[in-house]
Amino acid sequence: AQKVTQAQTEISVVEKEDVTLDCVYETRDTTYYLFWYKQPPSGELVFLIRRNSFDEQNEISGRYSWNFQKSTSSFNFTITASQVVDSAVYFCALSEANYGQNFVFGPGTRLSVLP
Amino acid sequence: DGGITQSPKYLFRKEGQNVTLSCEQNLNHDAMYWYRQDPGQGLRLIYYSQIVNDFQKGDIAEGYSVSREKKESFPLTVTSAQKNPTAFYLCASSSPSSTSGRVNEQFFGPGTRLTVL
């Protein structure tokens, strides 16, 4: 069965601090996809990144970076030099290629960046 | 602008009433989804449709119904059989998986907040 765990329910940081959001997943498939989404107070989920199970390269996009480690079944997300606009709920999601296009979402981590 | 629209943004329902939430997309996506979000929880899949005139139950389909008569539209009806319908409802769409099995990201609408009075 597929499962996504985000153990950090809420995180508060002061602006300009770095912060890492953890995501641990469970799957029996060898081919799967991992996603991160941001949900600002407006409610709409915004897609951030997709990673497939065969690509373990870390990725950096501006202040955002992602660390994918199959050995620990983790796909962690780091925000460098956080800003108030980063305040949101962040969701990690998993989709198994053999399970079609359906996603399993983690419970989310609420990030508050204080000025 | 391409995207997903949901209406209404806020909806109030009396107990025993059926209500229908609208979801429209102009992204030309084949697949559409409905999720329910409760406070402090992740998204749970209610129904999904991978093609017109076909849809499948998700993890929490009881008390809900859908239709997919047009590619652009995937309305969700919350029936009186749904015991605790107060929640935030999100609609999403995606282009189909490729023949190689690649799974594409889902794009989300702004959501509808349903409250039962």
Neighbouring-strand partners of residue B65: B77
pLDDT on residue A51: 92
CA dihedral B47, B33, B60, B7 (to 10 degrees): -100
What percent of chain B shows pLDDT beyond 90?
74
Residue of B nearest to A43 (CA): B110
The string of pLDDT tens digits covering residues A46-61 is 999 999 998 888 888 8
Q: Specify whether the CB–CB gap between A58 and A65 falls below 8 A.
A: yes
Q: How far is CA A13 from CA A25, A42, A53, A111, B5, in A?
A: 25, 21, 31, 8, 33
Beta-carbon separation of B101 and A91 below 8 A: no
For range B23-31, the mean pLDDT: 94
Going by pLDDT thresholds of 50, 70 and 90, the confidence category of residue A44 is: very high
Measured between beta carbons, the chain B residues lying within 8 angstroms of A44 are 90, 108-111
- The CA-based angle B79-B83-B88, given to 5 degrees, is 75
Kindly report, residue by residue over B38-84, the tens digit of the pLDDT. Answer: 987 889 999 999 899 999 999 999 999 999 999 999 999 999 888 89
* pLDDT at site A71: 93
Q: What is the pLDDT of residues A66-114, one digit of tens each?
A: 999 999 999 999 999 999 999 999 999 999 876 666 899 999 999 999 9
How does the average pLDDT of chain B come out, rounded? 91
Is 80 exceeded by the pLDDT of residue A35?
A: yes
**B43 Cα to chain A: minimum distance (Å):** 6
Flag whether pLDDT at B1 surpasses 80.
Answer: no
